[in-house]
Structure 1
Amino acid sequence: MKANLERVPIRLGSSWRYKKIDGVEKSYHWHFHHEYELVLFRKNNAQGMVGHFEGEIENNTLWLIPPKMPHAIELLDENNERQCESHIIWLPKDWVENMIFSCTELRRMAELLKRSSNGLCFSKSTAEDVYQLIGKLFKGSVFDDLGYLMQILGCLCSDKETKQLQLFSKQEAIDKEGKEKIDLVCKYIDDNYQNTITLLNVANHLCASESTVHRLFQSHFGESFSQYLKKFRLNHAANLLTHSRLPIGIVAEQVGYRNQTNFNRLFKDYKHLTPNQYRKKFSGF
């Protein structure tokens, strides 16, 4: 069944979105988001579908659904409709990845998000802890809300009883040889991103064809080699802008861009701020 894209409205002044739903419709048809979706079901009696998974939804069911993963919900007891409530937090993929890259304290999230490619179900105790934290949202400042969100993410990372919703995913479909190649590719890029790198360079390094490397990136990262390299470089640039006083032209050169005008354009397209604006907003200088 074809899933429809459901766009998450942007909340002014916030990098993430929360929504509470009191009661549910008889069903939510197949849909997906570009964001990570953390959804907590309270007092529900429903059937949930996430990718290839189908399972029961009951009180304190807490799921993490990755971007572009189709999902749907069907209410089983219409008499219980008014008692149901759902709490949904949407986290933009780029925002989360940038946070993990910039904040050492959030590195544990990387493994959690990697596992979430199958969809994740958390323990009832974690769901209850998350529910208590959600109840504190939007009663203070935006800084308070961001703090509570960080606590919620901490609860997810600390859960020792997390289960995957599906038995397999595209990520797991990559065989051992493919995973070894990905490790080699990542190390090669990490060692050489300051220099000119082409798909042919990577293919020669792996002793593989360019089409093979292209398929490897699409299956593992969900994007092309050039897109991955661009984000990798620009994330490093963002880190240099906020943690050093290097001139912007030097920052551009250190991440592999010899043309500062081109660097400025790409950075603004990716971060929605010029390098200078980004430095002023996020650095302490």
Structure 2
Amino acid sequence: MVIHREITPLKEDDCFLVFDRNRNDFTFPIHFHPEYEINFIHNAKGAKRIVGDHIGEIDDYELVMIGPNVYHGWENFNNDTSRTLHEITIQFPKDLFDSFFLNKNILKPIKELFKASRHGILFSKETILAVESKLYSLSKKSGFDNFIEFQSLLYDLAVSRDKKTLTNYSVGDPNDFHNSERIEKMYSFIKDNYRQKIKVEDAADHINMTEISFSRLIKKSTGKTFTELVNEFRLRYATRKLIESNESVSEICFDCGFNNISNFNRRFKEKQGCTPTEFRANYMGTPNIF
């Protein structure tokens, strides 16, 4: 099974992202990303939860916190896909709170929460019902008030009872390509240069590998070529711009590193199942980035 690395739309100056949406089934593949994630799901009883080496069937209410680079995802299983499920996803960077801040006495529960999330945390239904209103309000508030609410949510989760860790899977094997320093350097290189033409030999040189070894390793570990990874970055930022800005499709196309509209439309449709124009017109969901 190929595990996909998700490229989130968070930028360096963002604190966190809240994505609130209704849908009928799960379509996103098993994946990982360097950000923390809190995922709330309602009305999808019977769906399959995968976190590291854990596989389980979810109840009508689901709330899980995932640490950086832990494989995770939800798949259709025994859930009724004719019913509309509600999903709220919160993602935030692993360096949002530094160690100096987290070592303060009052914040030690949150520090322990982050540590436990490396194994995935499943919260009880009692906890979910207690924090449900905060989860809903995060997608509706804005500004500093929302950041305060976000910290309050983290503290409530940290001190809640009956938490369960889901997996013995441990991130940090120095020989694991997904979590190694060189893969992080590669993604940083793409992130810094995706607006312009990037050569695979330049990326390989950036992490001190030959082009052939670099290409083989990427393909083996991600199932994608280097070009496909770069395009994935470009499409992620294009999707964000289509949602958040009034820029024309052609402006977004060139700003995100594509060199012609037809190629951009084709790549976008392969990823989203529709053209950029159709995506903007039919977009459903509420993304908020703070």
TM-score by length of 2: 0.54
Aligned partners of 1:67, 1:162: CA distance in 2, in Å?
19
Residues 24, 94 of structure 1: alpha-carbon distance in 2 compared, 3 angstrom cutoff: farther
Residues 44, 107 of structure 1: alpha-carbon distance in 2 compared, 3 angstrom cutoff: same
Q: Which runs of 5+ in 1 are unaligned?
A: 174-214, 225-285
Answering whether residue 161 of structure 2 is matched by residue 164 of structure 1, we say no
Aligned partners of 2:142, 2:119: CA distance in 1, in Å?
34
Partner of 2:148: 147
In the TM superposition, residue 42 of structure 1 has moved relative to its aligned partner by 0.5
Q: In the comparison of the two structures, how many residue pairs are matched?
A: 179
CA contact (8 A) 1:21 1:85 kept: yes
Answering whether residue 74 of structure 2 is matched by residue 73 of structure 1, we say yes
- What aligned pairs does 1:1-285 form with structure 2 within 5 A after superposition? 1-10=1-10, 14-45=14-45, 46-77=47-78, 79-97=80-98, 100-101=101-102, 104-166=105-167, 168-170=168-170
In the TM superposition, residue 102 of structure 1 has moved relative to its aligned partner by 7.2
Aligned partners of 2:21, 2:141: CA distance in 1, in Å?
21
Residues 13, 108 of structure 1: alpha-carbon distance in 2 compared, 3 angstrom cutoff: same
In the TM superposition, residue 27 of structure 1 has moved relative to its aligned partner by 3.6
CA contact (8 A) 1:100 1:109 kept: no
Aligned partners of 2:32, 2:82: CA distance in 1, in Å?
23
- What residue identity is the alignment partner of 2:170? K
- What residue identity is the alignment partner of 2:131? V
Identity %: 25
Aligned partners of 2:80, 2:170: CA distance in 1, in Å?
39
SS of 1:58's equivalent in the other structure is: coil
Aligned partners of 2:116, 2:130: CA distance in 1, in Å?
21
Aligned partners of 1:102, 1:15: CA distance in 2, in Å?
20
In the TM superposition, residue 72 of structure 1 has moved relative to its aligned partner by 2.3
- What residue identity is the alignment partner of 1:23? R
CA contact (8 A) 2:20 2:139 kept: no
SS of 2:87's equivalent in the other structure is: strand
CA contact (8 A) 1:47 1:75 kept: yes
Aligned partners of 2:129, 2:180: CA distance in 1, in Å?
36
Q: Please, what is the CA RMSD of the aligned residues?
A: 3.0
- What residue identity is the alignment partner of 2:123? F
Residues 76, 14 of structure 1: alpha-carbon distance in 2 compared, 3 angstrom cutoff: same
SS of 1:93's equivalent in the other structure is: coil
Greater Cα radius of gyration, structure 1 or 2: 1
Partner of 2:208: none
- What residue identity is the alignment partner of 1:67? P
Residues 218, 151 of structure 1: alpha-carbon distance in 2 compared, 3 angstrom cutoff: farther
CA contact (8 A) 1:41 1:57 kept: no
In the TM superposition, residue 79 of structure 1 has moved relative to its aligned partner by 4.0
Residues 12, 130 of structure 1: alpha-carbon distance in 2 compared, 3 angstrom cutoff: farther
Partner of 1:239: none
- What residue identity is the alignment partner of 1:149? F
TM-score by length of 1: 0.55
Residues 67, 81 of structure 1: alpha-carbon distance in 2 compared, 3 angstrom cutoff: farther
SS of 1:160's equivalent in the other structure is: coil
Residues 74, 103 of structure 1: alpha-carbon distance in 2 compared, 3 angstrom cutoff: same
User: 1:172-224 CA deviation, whole Å, 9 max, x = no partner?
Assistant: x9xxxxxxxxxxxxxxxxxxxxxxxxxxxxxxxxxxxxxxxxx8x889xx777
User: 1:71-107 CA deviation, whole Å, 9 max, x = no partner?
Assistant: 1221235644442111111121011345744755322
- What residue identity is the alignment partner of 1:155? D
Which ranges of 4 or more aligned residues in structure 1 deviate by more than 4 Å?
Answer: none
Aligned partners of 2:15, 2:99: CA distance in 1, in Å?
12
- What residue identity is the alignment partner of 1:70? Y
CA contact (8 A) 1:100 1:107 kept: no
Aligned partners of 1:157, 1:127: CA distance in 2, in Å?
13
In the TM superposition, residue 41 of structure 1 has moved relative to its aligned partner by 1.0
Residues 31, 140 of structure 1: alpha-carbon distance in 2 compared, 3 angstrom cutoff: closer
